[in-house]
Amino acid sequence: MKYEIRRRVAVWSATLALIAGALVGQVGTAEQANAAAVDPLAQANAQAMLQSGRLTFGHPEPQAQIQAYANGVERINPNTGRACNINDVLLQALKTVVVDRGIAISISSLNRWCENSGSTTSWHYRNGGGHAVDVNRVNGVASTGGTAQDRVYINAMTSVLPAPAGLGQYGCPGHTVTVPSGWVQFPDSCNHNHIEYRGPDVPPGGGQPTSFTISEIGAYSTGWQKVWVGQSIPSNVFAAVNMGSGWGDVFSSSNGTMLHTFVNNGQWITLDSGIPLNATSMSAVNVGQPSPHVFAVENGQIVLMYGDSAGWHKAWTGVNTTGKISAVVMSDGSVQLMISEGGVLHQMWADSAGWHKASTGKPVGDQFEALYMGGSAPQVMTILNGQVHQIWASGTEWIVMSTGVAVSSTVGFTAVDMGGGYPQVFTSEGGQLYQTAVMGGAWTRMGAGVAVNGPLDALNLGGGTARIYTTG
């Protein structure tokens, strides 16, 4: 059965003006360094531990990692070029034990992934590393996993570090510890105390994060690096768009309003648009005007936010959906949306009579991205049956084809046109960033070596490599 391919049509011709004026030029003082900025609370925790006089180190590497956090950045290991993340939840627990409860400890190991040492399944190493800590002395006493001082430290950590978590040294002499629900114990060498946090990198105490930090991922001379932009939002529903400033503009649905995060005079800032919004999916496109078109799914409707000299405006497109959306700008400047609705791909376009939606009849995954790669209809990259698939229009029918690249369970998916005739796909899998691209004529999946555990939106900002925005 063949399905009609909806051709490009002009959308709206009204001239839009950004509420605060356009961003002009490349800004030079925003993040350029290879080392990622850390959350201010994480920096304060590291500083407080070092200033307490109760934190020492059994090895220079964890000392360098903590010191870097105190300086406001992740350490870049000089031997591997990898960033040394420290899980914020684990760091908060250590700060509470050392600073607030007055327990002196010596740390012998933290992030081993950035050192490229030890077991790849260890929480020191996996998911970018930094999710486990080894302590070799407590209150001046060498640790065995079972000394009286070890038990003081273990009892303090199990009371402040939320589950899911793990404790080593099971079976070591004197190791008689009862752990809380959600903790596990396992054997380990009897010369230290090993504690690991297995949950997401969110505030201590369990539950959902109260805010999500916006980070930018880019390729630098030492490889892919993740940089916190210094802004946090109360939601992970967002969309990024290239407005020509050299940086991405991020629009989010946060606490019932649309927020705009962008670079202004060399600094990242977040402004309230004044537009009420409770979105479940968002997509933003540059329509050649100072402000973008921001589409969102809200209460089963697709709404459009746009700006002019009078401010931001919100309008219903007349199209309903409870699915997810991805918008693209066609070669004639018109906008089309692709919609994942009930596992079926739909196409949305506008003409003089308004907006329209029609089914392509083709399957699509919950995570997908539409791109304009030429021709009369958008292309779509998605995950179907555990593999990355490409969907495009040929004549009067839609074609669905697997790339042959298998992916694991993903929490983030995005695609971008970086040239070369094929899209590039980025996924967040198991806490790590992966890139899927055509190399040597074949689809190839590569690890980026960056820890990420949230939604993604990739942009082509020039420079030959993608720039990815995430809240994970």
Q: What percent of the chain has pLDDT over 70?
A: 90
Report the DSSP pairing between strands 432-439 and 423-429: antiparallel
pLDDT for residue 461 is more than 70: yes
The reply to whether omega before 164 is within 30° of 0 (cis) is: yes
Q: Is 64 helix (H, G, I), strand (E, B) or coil?
A: helix
What stretch(es) of the chain map to CATH 3.30.1380?
40-197
> Tell me, what's the pLDDT at 41?
87
Residues of the chain with CATH 2.120.10.70: 221-470
Instruction: Tell me what percent of the chain is helix, strand and coil, each rounded to the nearest 5.
Output: 10, 45, 45
CATH number of 221-470: 2.120.10.70
Q: Which residue has the tokens 């992740």?
A: 74
CB contact at 8 A, 76 and 83: yes
Could you tell me which residues come within 8 angstroms of residue 103 by beta carbon, excluding any fewer than 6 positions away?
Answer: 54, 97, 138, 139, 152, 153, 156
Position 28 pLDDT exceeds 80: no
Q: Encode pLDDT of 259-311 as tens digits.
A: 898 988 887 887 888 899 999 999 999 999 999 999 999 999 999 999 998 88
- Which of 184, 59, 166 lies closest to 111 in space, CA to CA? 59
CATH numeric code, 40-197: 3.30.1380
Q: Each residue of 130-178: pLDDT tens digit?
A: 999 999 999 999 999 999 999 999 999 999 998 888 899 988 999 888 8
Q: How far is CA 314 from CA 61, 144, 317, in A?
A: 52, 63, 10
* More confident site: 26 or 465: 465
Question: Which of 247-251, 253-257, 321-325 is least confident?
Answer: 253-257
Q: How far apart are CA 176 and CA 171, in angstroms?
A: 8
* pLDDT confidence of residue 148: 95
Please determine, for residue 10, whether its predicted confidence score (pLDDT) is greater than 70.
Answer: no
Q: Compute the average pLDDT of residues 39-59.
A: 93
- Whether 17 has a pLDDT exceeding 50, the answer reads no
Q: Is 193 within 8 Å of 158 (Cβ atoms)?
A: no
Handedness of CA 24, 25, 29, 33 (dihedral sign): positive
